[in-house]
Chains A and B, each alone.
Chain A
């Protein structure tokens, strides 16, 4: 589904990603871990198409197409979804309006007709149960006055409604209490299917207690320094990132 080859990215003239290679297949869950400043968030933003990131070399192929050529909205319509680390507040745009505008943009792209008001509402009511969110929040401005947990649930709700094929969660677990974390994890688990893939970007192993990844990659200084299965996350939890950083430094020196 997604192939990243030798990806180099600069931000403000500074090299952040320095040769990422990653292969994600449908049905897989990949966790990207790493210390602060290792380039985790840069990777998720580059995949979603944020401006201000200069790709100096390498390629990203998604479903056989060059992902880096597409504007963000086209990536979204092709099925790439980014859950934000810091969800955006939009005063004056109601949550329900956003969901409807977004869903209909997707449906038009897929050649489907727009949903009428009743069918749409029924769909939303079904999906909202998944994230245990108060229905009242649908009629409030997007994320305005939402608690941290409500904001993250709202991201998962958008994901559930839009049914993307590749879901990138950028530190969705940060700042969540244990109850909200479980709700987010349950939401992700219920969306796991054979034709959908996940990239979970996270600093801590905590989320991975609830969403078991197929692969864990450790990002250090803009490169994947180590890959493994779910056990690698446990090892990191125990030993921290220091040993991998030292190992990488030693290899670089050699």
Chain B
């Protein structure tokens, strides 16, 4: 039996117990998604948007949705590695909200942060009006898979019309069990004129293989702003699919910071559609060592006039790692005066490392300013020599320069606590990189 039909079979057993089973519209949505997944399966390299990433290894494994059970005691110590200070915190362990690990006291009036399962009971109409909206434009197996199987997720609504206290929200998705499946579905609603800072941290138990397949749908209202940080620190044997799909209303501002450090096979998608005079900034830093494969797929739709987009992705690949950057910008016919820039810079630290980079501009309007640039290179030997002449050993000089290349992106983080934490992780990765020789 193929992996796809196994999952479909499994749905027959667990489907009724998935959250929102009492809502006919949701049952229908899940059934429809299951039918699409059943027919199309997971994405394959035959699809243009997946041509550099073969996920067939995922199909060879069978990840199981977990029954609700007490998370293991080790969870506490793993969480400590990622918890930020002075934040509201929602924690999901193995795909479900772990209520006793959340810190959600003192929320302002009208602000909602809870699990999606809980929201389906408490605010079914609010969920119904947003679920499947931003991801509805997407059409591939992981989306359908997630829609059919999601077990929980984060539900966030930042209310407009009042000044919110400047305290970020952190959502931690932790995977604690081997061979498990975590299908979370997140809904982030930023109402008109509201502003929100959100940190998503994906992490897992060391050396464990599991599948984390997350879909995050974001709606940013008129004149509202969202800073969304994604920190992907999954286990080095994990499979990660994380899709973020955004709709930006008139003059909405969206900043996305995508730090992808972990995982064996990773696909990050960030897609956004800009309304009139909306702005988006997409920053990304991906690191891959050993045999890691990291695919970044971004898509910016300039649908209306006067939109501004800036995109910078940097990749560092060592040993036999493989990276992918596919960045697409579509400027629709009505989107006059669009101002779009995209750049992708990559550092290859070994002869066996590989990057496939494919920036694409599709422009259907005539009065626009668009540009893109790509570089692939090695460390500058003159800089290495310079540092040596200042007494710094060659290997330390190389690490310093590589760190600097990465740190340029980390420096853009606007939350001090998070910046420090990401820097610390980066340093730990660089010192660990030498240990990854065993993967070769």
- Residues of A whose CB lies within 8 Å of any CB of B are 48-51, 71-73, 75-77, 81-82, 84, 87-88, 90-93, 98, 101-102, 105-106, 109, 141, 158, 162
Contacts and interface: CB of A to CB of B under 8 A. Distances in A.
Interface string B425-436: 000000000000
Interface string B379-407: 01111011111111110110011011111
A90 B383 contact: yes
B408 interface: yes
Contacts of A158: 390
B404 A90 contact: yes
B393 A73 contact: yes
A102 B390 contact: yes
Given A92-B408, A93-B400, A93-B404, A102 B392 contact: yes
Contacts of B397: 73
Band of interface residues on B: 20 to 34
Contact of B401 (A48, A50, A73, A93): A93
A92 B397 CA distance: 13
Contacts of B411: 92
Contacts, number: 69
Contacts of B407: 92
Contacts of B385: 50-51, 72
Contact of B389 (A81, A91, A92, A101): A81
28 contacts: A48-B389, A71-B388, A72-B388, A73-B392, A76-B389, A77-B391, A81-B389, A82-B389, A88-B382, A88-B386, A90-B387, A90-B404, A91-B405, A92-B404, A92-B405, A92-B406, A92-B408, A93-B400, A98-B387, A98-B390, A101-B390, A101-B392, A101-B396, A102-B390, A102-B392, A105-B390, A105-B391, A105-B393
A49 B392 contact: no
A109 B391 contact: yes
A92 B411 CA distance: 9
A172 B395 CA distance: 28
Contacts of B380: 88
Nearest to A98: B390
B408 A49 contact: no
Contacts of A105: 390-393
A51 B405 CA distance: 23
Given A51-B385, A84-B386, A91 B391 contact: no
Interface in B333-391: 380-383, 385-391
B408 A91 contact: yes
A87 B385 CA distance: 11
Given A92-B404, A92-B407, A92-B408, A72 B383 contact: no
- Find the residue from A48, A49, A73, A90 having the highest chain B CB count within 10 A: A73
Contact of B383 (A77, A82, A88, A106): A88
Nearest to B406: A92
Given A49-B389, A84-B386, A71 B408 contact: no
B398 to A, nearest CB: 12
Nearest to A72: B388
Contacts of B403: 92
A91 B404 contact: yes
A98 B403 CA distance: 13
B419 to A, nearest CB: 14
Nearest to A50: B385
B429 to A, nearest CB: 16
Contacts of B386: 84, 87-88, 90
Contacts of A73: 388-389, 391-394, 397
